[in-house]
């Protein structure tokens, strides 16, 4: 399924938004005008508190208007999608509560069911609409260069790897770039000596796994040795690799972007990102891409690759790998444990990715001079 403006899913979501726009906006005007006969026909009691009844109708009418605005231009009205989700969700929750305590006529229950269904529909619409640029990158598209300066055919790969999985991935991207005539420099991110022991694998520091996990959840930064990458470097491509730590990018890679001294090195440059993980790659990839963009870089390609194996064996194999410090141990579990390194197929894909990056189209038209970096 495509995610462009013409996608089938988008058409369906828009139709559903239009339906609830008409039902909410039109239906509530109708109910306000004809509530006496309608409630009599369905056997519902007439409202005791007319103000509250009118208020609810007005609230629901407003939700209909919001749905109409969303129908007209979904991409530019994402905050309204969130507002409608909250509005309909709250209405559905209150309806459910009063149904539970037994104070609700079936006629009003219908609206509660309608809104609960639409809460889910708008949630799905939101998921469909958010970050379409990532979907395009994940389809395998390699974008044209954003840098109008002549190619130097030099690339820099920045990465951090504890277990070696990321390092293997980087080697294959390098192979792809080199095959197409690029000179590639690797820069392994090094953690400052004070914290180095914590980030060594197999784990050496006490409770290292849990400490890294808690730091990843709370996103506690890690200090790294300076990259000392000048803004006027002559690489025409930077590739950044990051592992997934829990559900985010790895702290040492994020530290590259957190250090203001490194940001100018990405400004106006072509950047490609690689995420290597057990299974969760979407948020780490988004974090990495957005950091690059925040530094003024142009993301020309992205790949996210997961270790082979089926869940739930894959996640438990990862925990065993962390505990044992090596793959395939303990021996008696070997048949159940899944590999902790990318498959040959994934590595081949990364090599193709490297070739694709080397052959990326040139900038279509002259661009403005490289962006100046302000506060990020």
Partner 1 sequence: MEYLHQLLDGMTTQPFKDILHMLELPPGRLWPGFSLLAAVIIVCELVRISLGTVLTRSRLAHLTVCLLTFALQSLLLAFVLIHADRHHPGRGWINLGLAVALYVVWYATGQFTRLIRTDSEGADLGFMTVGALITFSVGIVFAFIT
Closest to 108 measured CA to CA, from 99, 116, 117, 100 = 99
Q: Are 204 and 174 in contact (CB under 8 A)?
A: no
Q: Note whether 365 binds partner 1 by CB under 8 A.
A: no
Q: Which is nearer to partner 1, 141 or 204 (CB)?
A: 141
The residue within the footprint of partner 1, chosen from 54, 62, 138, 149 (CB under 8 A), is 138
DSSP symbol at 76: G
Nearer to partner 1, 6 or 37 (CB): 6
Rg of the Cα atoms in the chain? 27
Per-residue contact flags (x/-) with partner 1 for residues 277 to 306, judged by CB under 8 A: -xxxxxx--xx--xx--x------------
**Among residues 64, 87, 176, 248, the one that binds partner 1 under rule CB under 8 A:** 248
- Taking CB under 8 A as the rule, which mask of x and - marks residues 42-61 in contact with partner 1? --------------------
Q: Among 22-30, 112-120, 204-212, 345-353, which window interacts with partner 1 (CB under 8 A)?
A: 112-120
d(CA 354, CA 165): 17
353 binds partner 1 (CB under 8 A): no
Burial letters for 295-330: b for 16+ Cβ neighbours within 10 Å, e otherwise? bbbbbbbbbbbbbebeeeebeebbebbbeeeebeee
Distance CA 15, CA 21 (A): 10
Closest CA to 23 of 126, 104, 117: 117
By CB under 8 A, residue 105 contacts partner 1:
no
Identify residues 85-104 at the interface with partner 1 (CB under 8 A).
Answer: 89, 93, 96-97, 99-101
Measured CA distances, 159 to 114, 215, 295 (Å):
49, 19, 17
Q: Of 13 and 182, which CB lies nearer to partner 1 in the complex structure?
A: 13
Strands (E), 190-290: 237-245, 248-249, 270-277
Q: Check if the beta carbon of residue 74 is closer than 8 Å to that of residue 17.
A: yes
Q: State the nearest-atom distance from the C-beta of 292 to partner 1, in Å.
A: 11
User: One symbol per residue from 201 to 230: x for binding partner 1 (CB under 8 A), - otherwise; what is it?
Assistant: ---------------xxxx-----------
Is 30 a binding residue for partner 1 by CB under 8 A? The answer is no
Our finding on whether 373 is near partner 1 (CB under 8 A) is no
SS (H, E, C) 191-216: ECHHHHHHHCCCCCCCCHHHHHHHHH
For the chain, the straight-line distance linking the first and the last C-alpha, in angstroms and rounded, comes to 35
Q: For residues 248 and 296, which CB has a smaller minimum distance to partner 1 in the complex? A: 248
Packing angle between helix 106-129 and helix 8-21, nearest 10 degrees?
150
| Binding status of residue 134 toward partner 1 by CB under 8 A | yes
Q: Which of 127, 179, 336, 364 binds partner 1 (CB under 8 A)?
A: 127
156 contacts 187 by C-beta, under 8 angstroms: yes
CB of 323 to partner 1, least distance (A): 14
What is the nearest approach in angstroms of partner 1 to the Cβ of residue 63? Answer: 18
| Min separation Cβ 133 and partner 1, Å | 9
Residues that bind partner 1 (CB under 8 A): 1, 3, 9, 13, 89, 93, 96-97, 99-101, 116, 119-120, 123-124, 126-128, 130-131, 134-135, 138-139, 216-219, 246-248, 278-283, 286-287, 290-291, 294, 311-312, 314-316
């Amino acid at each position: 399924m495509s995610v462009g403006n013409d996608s089938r899913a988008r058409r369906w979501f828009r139709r559903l938004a239009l339906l609830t726009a008409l039902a909410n906006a039109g239906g509530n005007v109708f109910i306000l005008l004809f509530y006496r006969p309608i409630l009599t026909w369905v056997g519902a009691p007439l409202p005791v508190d007319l103000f509250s009844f009118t208020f609810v109708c007005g609230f629901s009418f407003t939700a209909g208007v919001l749905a109409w605005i969303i129908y007209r231009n979904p991409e530019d009205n994402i905050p309204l999608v969130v507002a409608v989700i909250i509005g309909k969700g709250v209405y559905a929750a209150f309806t459910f509560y009063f149904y539970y305590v037994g104070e609700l006529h079936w006629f009003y229950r219908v609206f509660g069911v309608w809104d609960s269904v639409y809460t889910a529909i708008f949630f799905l619409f939101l998921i469909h609409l958010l970050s379409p640029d990532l979907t395009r990158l994940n389809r395998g598209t390699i974008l044209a260069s954003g840098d109008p300066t002549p190619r130097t055919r030099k690339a820099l790969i920045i990465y951090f790897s504890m277990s070696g999985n990321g390092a293997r991935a980087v080697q294959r991207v390098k192979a792809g770039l080199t095959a197409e005539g690029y000179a590639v420099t690797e820069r392994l991110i090094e953690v400052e000596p004070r914290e180095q022991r914590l980030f060594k694998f197999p784990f050496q520091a006490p409770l290292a796994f849990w400490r890294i996990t808690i730091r990843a959840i709370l996103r506690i930064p890690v200090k790294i040795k300076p990259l000392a990458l000048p803004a006027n470097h002559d690489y025409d491509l930077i590739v950044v690799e990051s592992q997934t730590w829990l559900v985010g990018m790895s702290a040492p890679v994020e530290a590259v972007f957190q250090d203001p001294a490194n940001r100018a090195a990405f400004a106006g440059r072509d950047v490609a990102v690689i995420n290597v993980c057990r299974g969760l790659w979407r948020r780490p990839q988004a974090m990495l891409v957005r950091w690059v963009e925040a530094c003024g870089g142009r993301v020309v390609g992205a790949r996210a690759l997961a270790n082979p194996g089926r869940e739930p064996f894959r996640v438990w194999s990862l925990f065993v790998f962390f505990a044992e410090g090596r793959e395939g141990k303990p021996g008696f579990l070997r048949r159940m444990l899944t590999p902790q390194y990318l498959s040959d197929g994934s590595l081949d894909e990364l090599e193709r990715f490297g070739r694709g990056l080397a052959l990326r189209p040139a900038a279509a038209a002259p661009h403005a001079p490289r962006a100046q970096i302000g506060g990020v």
